[in-house]
């Protein structure tokens, strides 16, 4: 046998390679990287970044949770998209504080949500627009300044998301969100339908409907409701009501004159004055002695191991809401998207829901702008019966529905409906998507009624 003596540098390289192979062999048998703060069963099905500008690298961050107990093949299982409000707030609030499968508790660990929206549907949480949450804005100039550009980025992102899995292409998609997403949701839905009209069937986004929770949609109409709402709720007296009405008038006039930034400032004065007059902990829910604790989400997502587990950039300092993005969209706040809802309700189904304890974007403010909808069936809708809605035989709220439009008042809830009424909000969105119960169409209800009369 001939022995070969390797030169010293080759011998060193060989030893290094062998050590590396040994390490990789051991690593292969280790469990996937996880953290005690976010156990394996709480990890999203998919998460990461979707580039909206391939040149600059600006990207939207997402987390997707597949349906836990789908009732149909996955290729037919609906996907709900969730957009947070603000403007400038992260959808990780929705994920870890409202409707995701796991919620952050007071000790900054996660626990199962009793009413997750991904029970029978997939749910996709999107940090929108870029610059929000874990999303990346390569420069402040790229952050959208209007709803058209917000929707354009979302459309690019959702098209890329659909390409991640062959089954996504055929699945119906429902765009949902709350608060300032009262503009994002109709803006995105409107954009999808307008783009679909230009695209071949194979390239279209399969939009099933849109749902807006406690939304700011037609601000000039909504800002006019605060004084009377507070007065008839017993929270201010007549003198205070008149002060609020004067401030509201200023906001309305500035809006009508197109002084957008000043109009936003004027609306803020209305809300700030109402807060001071009432002494409430938060206008988002007049029952609360302390505000919603969504800062728990920021504390949770500050952990590097949690960021790694979610596939988020570790160097991003997570904020629940971005002041920078809020400032960029400051002039957009008082601009109405009611015309987009009018287009949507003619072409797809629309759900409007509010927690009845919200004093900012609640029931009264929504009903005010709904009455102004230019829709051929609005008269019929306003005359439609408002039905008592129960979940598990307990009163949950009220549902008014006609054609494509459904309106729900959720009892025992404030601005963050899924946080306050997890099980009921789950039942609401499932029945609306599947057109069951009080959300069934008129023909089905008539057939059932006729059948009962025959029996």
What is the sign, positive or negative, of the torsion defined by CA atoms of 125, 171, 165, 138? negative
Q: What are the residues whose beta carbons fall under 8 Å from the beta carbon of 38, sequence distance 6 or more?
A: 102, 110, 305, 306, 309, 310
- Which pLDDT score is estimated for 106? 87
Specify the pTM.
Answer: 0.89
CB atoms within 10 A of CB 435: 14
- Which pLDDT score is estimated for 443? 61
Region 27-40: what's the mean pLDDT?
A: 55
pLDDT at 250 over 80: yes
Give the span between the Cα atoms of 134 and 49, in whole angstroms.
9
Of the pLDDT bands very low, low, confident and very high (cuts 50, 70, 90), residue 193 is very high
Rounded (5°) CA angle 392-384-364: 80
- Which pLDDT score is estimated for 441? 84
Region 270-293: what's the mean pLDDT?
A: 97
- Which pLDDT score is estimated for 23? 39
Q: Is 46 exposed, middle or buried (0-12, 13-18, 19+ CB in 10 A)?
A: middle
Provide the edge-to-edge strand list for the sheet that holds 173-178: 46-51, 59-65, 122-126, 79-83, 173-178, 207-213, 349-355, 405-410, 394-402, 386-391
- Candidates 86, 184, 196, 168; CA nearest to 133 is 86
Active centre residues (catalytic): 179, 358, 415
In the predicted model, what is the mean pLDDT of the chain? 91
The upper half-sphere exposure of residue 416, i.e. CA atoms within 13 Å in the direction of its Cβ, equals 22
In the block, tokens 């609640």 appear at 362
- Which pLDDT score is estimated for 454? 56
- pLDDT tens for residues 298-346? 999 999 999 999 999 999 999 999 999 999 999 999 999 999 999 999 9
Of the pLDDT bands very low, low, confident and very high (cuts 50, 70, 90), residue 121 is very high
pLDDT at 21 over 60: no
3-state secondary structure the chain: CCCCCCCHHHHHHHHHHHHHHHHHHHHHCCCCCCECCECHHHCCCEEEEEECCCCCCCEEEEEEECCCCCCCCHHHCCEEEEECCCCCECCHHHHHHHHCCEEECCCCCEEECCCCCCCCCEEEEECCCCCCCCCECCCHHHCCCCHHHHHHHHHHHHHHHHCCCHHHHHCCEEEEEECCHHHHHHHHHHHHHHHHCCCCHHHCCCEEEEEEECCCCCHHHHHHHHHHHHHHCCCCCHHHHHHHHHHHHHHHHHHHCCCHHHHHHHHHHHHHHHHHHHCCCCCCCCCCCCCCCCHHHHHHHCCHHHHHHHCCCCCCCCCCECHHHHHHCHHHCCCCCHHHHHHHHHHCEEEEEEECCCCCCCHHHHHHHHCCCCCCCHHHHHHCCEEEEEECCEEEEEEEEECCEEEEEECCCCCCHHHHCHHHHHHHHHHHHHCCHHHCCHHHHHHHHHHHHHC
- Which pLDDT score is estimated for 172? 97
- Which pLDDT score is estimated for 450? 54
pLDDT at 36 over 80: no
- pLDDT tens for residues 379-433? 999 999 999 999 999 999 999 999 999 999 999 999 999 999 999 999 999 999 9
What is the sign, positive or negative, of the torsion defined by CA atoms of 157, 325, 309, 24? positive
Q: What are the residues whose beta carbons fall under 8 Å from the beta carbon of 433, sequence distance 6 or more?
A: 78, 80, 121, 174, 208, 209
Q: What are the residues whose beta carbons fall under 8 Å from the beta carbon of 68, sequence distance 6 or more?
A: 101, 116, 118, 119, 120
- Which pLDDT score is estimated for 333? 98
- Which pLDDT score is estimated for 2? 38
Least confident stretch, 87-91, 228-232, 306-310, 451-455: 451-455
- Which pLDDT score is estimated for 24? 37
End-to-end CA distance of the chain: 97
Of the pLDDT bands very low, low, confident and very high (cuts 50, 70, 90), residue 449 is low
């Amino acid at each position: 046998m001939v022995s070969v003596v390797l030169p010293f540098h080759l011998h060193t390289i060989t030893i290094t390679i062998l050590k590396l192979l040994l390490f990789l062999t051991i690593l292969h048998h280790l469990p996937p990287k996880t953290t005690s703060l976010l156990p394996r069963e709480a990890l999203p099905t998919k998460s990461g970044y979707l580039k909206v500008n391939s040149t600059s690298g600006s990207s939207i961050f997402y987390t997707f949770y597949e349906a836990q107990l789908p009732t149909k093949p996955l290729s037919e299982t609906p996907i709900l998209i969730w957009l947070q409000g603000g403007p400038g707030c992260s959808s990780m609030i929705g994920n870890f504080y409202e409707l995701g499968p796991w919620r952050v508790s007071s000790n900054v660990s996660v626990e199962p949500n009793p009413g997750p929206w991904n029970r029978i549907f997939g749910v996709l949480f999107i940090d929108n627009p870029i610059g929000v949450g874990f999303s990346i804005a390569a420069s402040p100039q790229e952050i959208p300044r209007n709803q058209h550009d917000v929707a354009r980025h979302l459309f690019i992102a959702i098209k890329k998301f659909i390409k991640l899995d062959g089954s996504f292409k055929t699945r119906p998609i429902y765009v949902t969100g709350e608060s300032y997403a009262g503009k994002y949701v109709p803006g995105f839905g409107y954009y999808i339908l307008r783009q679909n009209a230009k695209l071949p069937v194979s390239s279209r986004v399969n939009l099933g409907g849109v749902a807006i929770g406690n939304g700011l949609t037609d601000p000039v109409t909504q800002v006019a409701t605060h004084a009377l709402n507070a007065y008839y709720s017993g929270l201010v007296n007549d003198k205070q009501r008149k002060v609020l009405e004067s401030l509201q008038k200023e906001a309305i006039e500035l809006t009508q004159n197109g002084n957008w930034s000043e109009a936003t400032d004027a609306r803020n004065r209305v809300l700030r004055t109402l807060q001071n007059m009432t002494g409430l902990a938060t206008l988002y829910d007049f029952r609360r002695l302390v505000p919603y604790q969504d800062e728990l989400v920021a504390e949770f997502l500050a952990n590097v191991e949690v960021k790694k587990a979610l596939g988020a950039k570790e160097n991003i300092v997570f904020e629940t809401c971005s002041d920078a993005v809020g400032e960029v969209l400051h002039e957009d706040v008082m601009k109405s998207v009611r015309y987009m809802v009018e287009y949507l309700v003619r072409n797809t189904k629309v759900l409007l829901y509010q927690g009845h304890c919200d004093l900012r974007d609640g029931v009264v403010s929504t009903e005010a702008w709904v009455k102004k909808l230019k829709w051929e069936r609005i008269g019929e809708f306003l005359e439609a019966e408002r039905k008592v809605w129960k979940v598990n035989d307990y009163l949950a709220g009220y549902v008014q529905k006609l054609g494509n439009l459904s309106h729900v008042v959720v009892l025992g809830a404030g601005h963050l409906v899924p946080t306050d009424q997890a099980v009921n909000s789950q039942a609401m969105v499932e029945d609306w998507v599947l057109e069951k119960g009080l959300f069934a169409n008129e023909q089905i209800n008539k057939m059932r009624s006729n059948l009962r009369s025959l029996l």
